């Protein structure tokens, strides 16, 4: 019963309202006293609680043999009503918030920290849907697999470019990164970059490392990270086209630059 009460509270009922409705569903048509006794709601409060539910159309009140009795709205009808009310509220809140988002002045050059895996994925999915011209990505297989269908949908509307690591057969126009000592090293962090129309970007480490990412609409951040992706794509293509053993030379130069032993 407690679990059902907690779920009803998420639909907007307070604890006493939720307990009253659950009690009525269990008992059927009963008096306020019987609801109080079954649910544990104080008798001094139960009449007001039931009255509120009657006003909301969740409980039916009737006089039977000079006795006031209460009946629950049938569960199937209650659920449809709750769904309808939720959908209506969702649409009102959605429209209001979106309008506020459009009219409210936003700070320039933001960099925001995003936490929680589902929040980060949702942000990425929303950005991909917003893309109007171009998407640039740099992704390892873990996040690419999560966003694969969203990337395919975006690629059907706009140009998707960039590079992937450990991804077999990435979508068209996206390069597959060559295997290198760096990509195979256990210490290599699996960062991702997702840039939309050079206007908005999300970047961060693998979810296996930390459930954290960064959102920015700062043009300098976006330019530098898109340029990073382009250089990665360019070097990858040059190595694949070259007759020389460029990979060995690149590995040595990288170690020297980053002062790695």
| Contact call for residues 171 and 155 (beta carbons, < 8 A) | yes
State whether 115 and 184 are in the same domain: yes
At residue 48, the pLDDT reads: 94
Number of Cβ within a 10 Å radius of residue 131 = 21
Residues 203 and 123 in one domain: yes
Answer yes or no: do 125 and 221 share one domain. yes
Tokens of 253: 């130069």
Whole-number pLDDT of residue 217: 92
Long-range pairs, 143-152, Cβ under 8 A, ≥24: 143/192, 143/206, 143/207, 144/170, 146/121, 147/121, 147/194, 150/124, 150/125
Same domain, 187 and 139: yes
* Residue 105: per-residue pLDDT: 57
| Model confidence pLDDT, tens digit, residues 3-30 | 888 888 888 889 999 999 999 999 999 9
Could you tell me if 130 and 246 lie in one domain? yes
Mark residue 57 as left, alpha or beta (left: phi above 0; alpha: psi -120 to 50; beta: remaining).
left
What is the pLDDT, as a whole number, of residue 106?
58
29: left (phi > 0), else alpha (psi -120 to 50), else beta? Answer: beta
Does residue 165 fall inside a structural domain?
A: yes
How far out from the chain centre does Cα 74 lie? Answer: 34
The pLDDT of residue 104 = 54
Q: Are residues 67 and 125 in the same domain?
A: no
- Let me know if residue 12 belongs to a domain: yes
Return phi, psi of residue 67, to 5°: -120, 135
Give residue 80's pLDDT. Answer: 87
Distance CA 181, CA 160 (A): 27
Per-residue tens of pLDDT for the chain, all 261 residues: 778 888 888 888 899 999 999 999 999 999 999 999 999 999 999 999 999 999 888 899 888 888 899 999 888 888 888 888 888 888 888 888 878 776 655 556 778 899 888 899 999 999 999 999 999 999 999 999 999 999 999 999 999 999 999 998 999 999 999 888 878 887 778 899 999 999 999 999 987 777 889 999 999 999 999 999 999 999 888 888 786 778 788 778 777 876 676
Q: Are 71 and 121 members of one domain?
A: no
Token digits for 160? 């998707």
| CA quadruple 99, 100, 104, 109: dihedral sign | negative
CATH number where 13 lies: 1.10.10.10
Domain of 130, CATH number, reads 3.30.870.10
In terms of domains, do 124 and 214 share one?
Answer: yes
Q: Is residue 15 part of a domain?
A: yes
Residue 106, domain member (yes or no): no
Among candidates 68, 83, 185, 229, which has minimal Cα distance to 59?
68
60 and 153 housed in the same domain: no
Chosen domain end from 76, 103, 136:
76
- Please state the domain count of the chain: 2
Would you say residue 253 lies in a domain? yes
* Beta carbons within 8 Å of 88's beta carbon, 6+ residues apart: none
- Domain span holding position 30: 2-76
Query: What residues are paired with 67 via a beta bridge?
Result: 64
In a domain, 18, yes or no: yes
Q: Does the residue 87 lie in any domain?
A: no
DSSP state of 179: P
Residues 6 and 55 in one domain: yes
On whether both 65 and 126 belong to a single domain, the answer is no
pLDDT tens per residue across span 143-179: 999 999 999 999 999 999 999 999 989 999 999 998 8
Could you tell me if residue 235 is inside a domain?
Answer: yes
Question: Which pLDDT score, from 0 to 100, does residue 39 have?
Answer: 92
């Amino acid at each position: 019963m407690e679990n059902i009460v907690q779920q009803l509270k998420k639909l907007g009922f307070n604890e006493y309202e939720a307990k009253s409705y659950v009690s009525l569903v269990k008992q059927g048509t009963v008096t306020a006293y019987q609801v109080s006794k079954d649910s544990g709601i104080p008798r001094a409060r139960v009449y007001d609680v039931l009255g509120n539910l009657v006003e909301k159309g969740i409980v039916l009140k009737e006089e039977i043999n000079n006795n006031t009795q209460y009946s629950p709205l049938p569960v199937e009808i209650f659920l449809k009503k709750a769904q309808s009310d939720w959908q209506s509220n969702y649409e009102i809140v959605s429209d209001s918030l979106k309008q506020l988002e459009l009219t409210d002045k936003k700070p320039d050059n933001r960099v925001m920290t995003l936490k929680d895996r589902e929040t980060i994925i949702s942000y990425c999915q929303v950005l991909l849907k917003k893309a109007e011209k171009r998407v640039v990505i740099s992704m390892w297989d873990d996040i690419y697999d999560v966003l694969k269908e969203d990337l395919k949908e975006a690629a059907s509307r706009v140009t998707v470019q960039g590079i992937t690591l450990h991804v077999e057969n990435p979508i068209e126009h996206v390069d597959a990164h060559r295997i290198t000592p760096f990509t195979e090293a256990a210490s290599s962090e699996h960062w991702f970059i997702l840039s939309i129309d050079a206007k908005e970007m999300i970047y961060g480490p693998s979810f296996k490392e930390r459930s954290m990412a960064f959102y920015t609409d700062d043009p300098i951040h976006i330019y530098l990270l898109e340029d990073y992706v382009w250089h990665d794509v360019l070097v990858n293509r040059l190595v694949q086209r070259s007759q020389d053993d460029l990979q060995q030379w690149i590995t040595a130069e990288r170690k020297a630059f980053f002062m790695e032993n």
